Structure 1
Amino acid sequence: MIYNKKLFESLTKVDEKFLELNKELENIGNNVSRMKEINKSLKLLNPIVEKFSEFKKILSNLESAEQILANEKDKELLELAEIEIGEYKPKIEVFENELKRLLLPKDENDDKNVIVEMRPAAGGDESSIFVGDLFGAYKRYADSQGWKIKTLEIVETSHGYNFISFMISGEDVYSKMKFESGVHRVQRVPETEAKGRVHTSTITVAVLPEVEDIEIVINPSDLRVDTYRAGGAGGQHVNRTESAVRITHLPTGIVASCQEGKSQIENRETAMKMLKSKLWERAENEKNSNLSSLRKDQVGTGERAEKIRTYNYPQNRVTDHRINLTLNKLEMIMLGDLDEIINSLIANDEALKMAEANI
């Protein structure tokens, strides 16, 4: 029986670790912090352990069938053994590939909520308009995933938006939305274009994981908190009270603001979450100088030549340049049908990691 013995040994160690953690959990007492850590680890290991259990059954059945083939003389039993071998052998490679994928190191932020910031870049009014268009696509995609979306700050222009920030909360949000960081290029004929010429413009999207309180410690004396009246739509309270909040982290100059909540308290809490995510980003960059900031490297300068994806309206085409994927269904994608693009990006990311890990 041929199978990847090195992989099997690695999976056996995972199995043992899973059992150890379960035993520790039973005797943890009132250590809430450790309990939380264990449950997080068990959640990550559980899919591997379940798939490995299925794999071991296949290997066991295959081994039994091969023993029958080697030792039995009964024609009927030999025929059944051959059928089973023909059924189980092809499954080994399938299971091994799936288990390799499950063993890949996980991004520790994958299960977190995200804060998204969108800005127009090159292209004037068309760029501002597309900020709103893509924001609409993200809202519909979030709805299809069962996620909740909460707008944090919106700065409107006469034609579109100069800035939109929002939070998406739900299951494994960052694992999918992180691929949206970068420059998005749109090619279409503006409504104001009399000669029907196609214009090219770009917007930038930054996706940051929401950071937990324990990860970033902020000295209150390092903060300046300003309140102001929010602009734009939002209800009567927006215009009558200084409910919007802007928090500045004085040592770094990093600013986070929120104006979409119903009260100053709510906006302050949200702005603090945004600030912590931005400070996390800065800390990660300082930890490893070779890893540029999520916003700087993934978003870039916003020039037309820098892009992760192009939305070509005249040809109803969307191209993701990172994986050379082209889909002729732009209308559906702008309605929130992002699954094919994002799933392809995830698969490509996993393939690259598997090649690097040489599993």
Structure 2
Amino acid sequence: MLEKLEPLEKEYQTLEQQLADPAVLANPTAYQRITKRYAEMGHLIETIRAYKQALAQREETRELLSDPELEEIARADLEELEGRIRRLEGELELLLLPKDPLDEKNAIVEVRAGTGGEEAALFAAELRDMIMEYARRGGYRVEVLDTSLTDLGGVSKVVFGVSGPGAYGYLKYEAGVHRVQRVPATETQGRIHTSTATVAVMPEAEEVDVEIDPADLEITVSRASGPGGQGVNTTDSAVQVLHKPTGLIVSCMESRSQIKNKEKALSILRTRLLEMKRAEEAAKRRESRLAQIGAGERSEKIRTYNFPQSRVTDHRIGFTTHDLEGVLSGDLSKLHEALRKADQERQLEALSQSAASQSA
């Protein structure tokens, strides 16, 4: 363990020195990158130092075992130290797990109404608001890219971007099928209905991630329709992009600017093409992917919102809370903390099984 920790401590010391370097302070880009990494390593370094201190205390306590007057006290202290060391080793194992580089990307979120008609569309709108609020609480910027509204205020589909460092990693556990159980406002006999909505959370693709041949695109513009403010319907600002090789169609009409709508539509298209590529790669390693919490299959029922019992249950980890109102208002922190912990534990288990099979 100590061999793994030494390079990390050296890196942290180097970062401290760089943050005091006038040349770095004069370079905003370098300073931001180093500051971010320095902050990321803070908890890890604190844990490493606590672990090394516990190891040193254990050695000092073992020396006291030879003293008859202190032996009993030393043995009690030693037992406590052994427990602390085991806990710190477990924490370090989690902190040292490799991180998905995609976690640091911006995210594009797509919410669609599933089964349940208008009730599903109303539920989709609630999920949209929930995820947007959770993103804002995390300090991320949210921008609606495309919306298809229903007559009663629901959404058949909404696409929005979430930007800021770590946005995808922050939201990825929301991907999957969400199920709601409640009495719809339109239900006259008080019967509980079950409806669903799907959420896709995708790391936003940049031009370097996906190369698109302009010849493969068919771009059409039209007059925007629906809400959007005064003047939204007076210009041909709505943009639709067809990617001919895959048949993917993306539209955007949220801005009055045709150029901005085209940029946003191409961003969504790149993201969906990257997601298709990732899905193909994931299919090749299906067994290992199914062991991950964040698989995010659109067909995978991940969570149930039960209104009569004010209950939210995440089926991936068996997590249940009765704070339904809090969850729908965007308080997903406890739920996501449990999901991250379970994901880390499964990664550890997979690494342990891999190591065992290699040594066998």
User: Whole-Å Cα distance in 1 between the matches of residues 79 and 317 of structure 2?
Assistant: 36
Is the contact between residue 177 and residue 198 of structure 2 (CA under 8 Å) also seen in structure 1? yes
Deviates more, 1:251-260 or 1:190-199: 251-260
Which of residues 141, 159, 163 in structure 2 aligns to 1:148? 141
Which of residues 48, 55, 64 in structure 2 aligns to 1:52? 48
Aligned length: 342
User: Whole-Å Cα distance in 2 between the matches of residues 147 and 180 of structure 1?
Assistant: 16
Is the contact between residue 102 and residue 169 of structure 2 (CA under 8 Å) also seen in structure 1? yes
Which of residues 246, 251, 257 in structure 2 aligns to 1:252? 246
Q: Verify: 1:107 aligned to 2:107, yes or no.
A: no
Q: Who is 1:3 aligned against?
A: none
User: Whole-Å Cα distance in 2 between the matches of residues 197 and 51 of structure 1?
Assistant: 53
Deviates more, 1:264-273 or 1:35-44: 35-44
Rate the CA distance shift 1:214–1:80 in 2: closer, same or farther, 3 A: farther
Partner of 2:312, secondary structure, is strand
Deviates more, 1:221-230 or 1:12-21: 12-21
Rate the CA distance shift 1:332–1:36 in 2: closer, same or farther, 3 A: closer
User: Whole-Å Cα distance in 2 between the matches of residues 307 and 289 of structure 1?
Assistant: 18
Rate the CA distance shift 1:296–1:106 in 2: closer, same or farther, 3 A: closer
Counterpart residue identity of residue 163, structure 1: K
Is the contact between residue 242 and residue 248 of structure 2 (CA under 8 Å) also seen in structure 1? yes
Q: CA deviation at 1:213?
A: 2.7
Is the contact between residue 225 and residue 246 of structure 1 (CA under 8 Å) also seen in structure 2? yes
Q: Who is 2:228 aligned against?
A: 234
Q: Verify: 1:310 aligned to 2:304, yes or no.
A: yes
Q: Verify: 1:322 aligned to 2:316, yes or no.
A: yes
Alignment map for 1:255-294 (pairs within 5 Å): 255-291=249-285
TM-score by length of structure 2 reads 0.81
Q: Who is 1:66 aligned against?
A: 62
Q: Who is 2:158 aligned against?
A: 164
Which of residues 193, 204, 209 in structure 1 aligns to 2:203? 209
Which stretches in structure 1 are left out of the alignment for 5+ residues? 1-6, 301-305
Counterpart residue identity of residue 198, structure 2: T
User: Whole-Å Cα distance in 2 between the matches of residues 334 and 38 of structure 1?
Assistant: 36
Q: Verify: 1:344 aligned to 2:338, yes or no.
A: yes
Alignment map for 1:291-302 (pairs within 5 Å): 291=285, 298-300=297-299
Partner of 1:214, secondary structure, is coil
Q: CA deviation at 1:139?
A: 2.2
User: Whole-Å Cα distance in 1 between the matches of residues 205 and 13 of structure 2?
Assistant: 30
Identity of aligned residues (%): 39
Counterpart residue identity of residue 144, structure 1: R
Which of residues 89, 112, 117 in structure 1 aligns to 2:110? 117
Is the contact between residue 111 and residue 198 of structure 2 (CA under 8 Å) also seen in structure 1? yes
Q: Who is 1:4 aligned against?
A: none
User: Whole-Å Cα distance in 1 between the matches of residues 55 and 32 of structure 2?
Assistant: 35
Q: Who is 1:173 aligned against?
A: 167
TM-score by length of structure 1 reads 0.82
Which of residues 328, 337, 349 in structure 2 aligns to 1:355? 349
Q: CA deviation at 1:11?
A: 2.7
Is the contact between residue 66 and residue 81 of structure 1 (CA under 8 Å) also seen in structure 2? yes
Residues 23-51 of structure 1, C-alpha deviation per residue, up to 9 Å, x if partnerless?
9999xx9xxx9999999877766654453
User: Whole-Å Cα distance in 2 between the matches of residues 66 and 297 of structure 1?
Assistant: 50
Is the contact between residue 153 and residue 165 of structure 1 (CA under 8 Å) also seen in structure 2? yes
Is the contact between residue 205 and residue 299 of structure 1 (CA under 8 Å) also seen in structure 2? yes
Counterpart residue identity of residue 109, structure 1: L
Q: CA deviation at 1:256?
A: 2.4
Rate the CA distance shift 1:21–1:329 in 2: closer, same or farther, 3 A: closer
Which of residues 211, 219, 222 in structure 2 aligns to 1:225? 219
Residues 177-228 of structure 1, C-alpha deviation per residue, up to 9 Å, x if partnerless?
1111111111111112111111111111111011233222222222222222
Counterpart residue identity of residue 290, structure 1: K
User: Whole-Å Cα distance in 2 between the matches of residues 14 and 255 of structure 1?
Assistant: 46
Is the contact between residue 176 and residue 346 of structure 1 (CA under 8 Å) also seen in structure 2? no
Is the contact between residue 174 and residue 296 of structure 2 (CA under 8 Å) also seen in structure 1? no
Partner of 1:241, secondary structure, is coil
Q: Verify: 1:94 aligned to 2:87, yes or no.
A: yes
Partner of 2:102, secondary structure, is coil
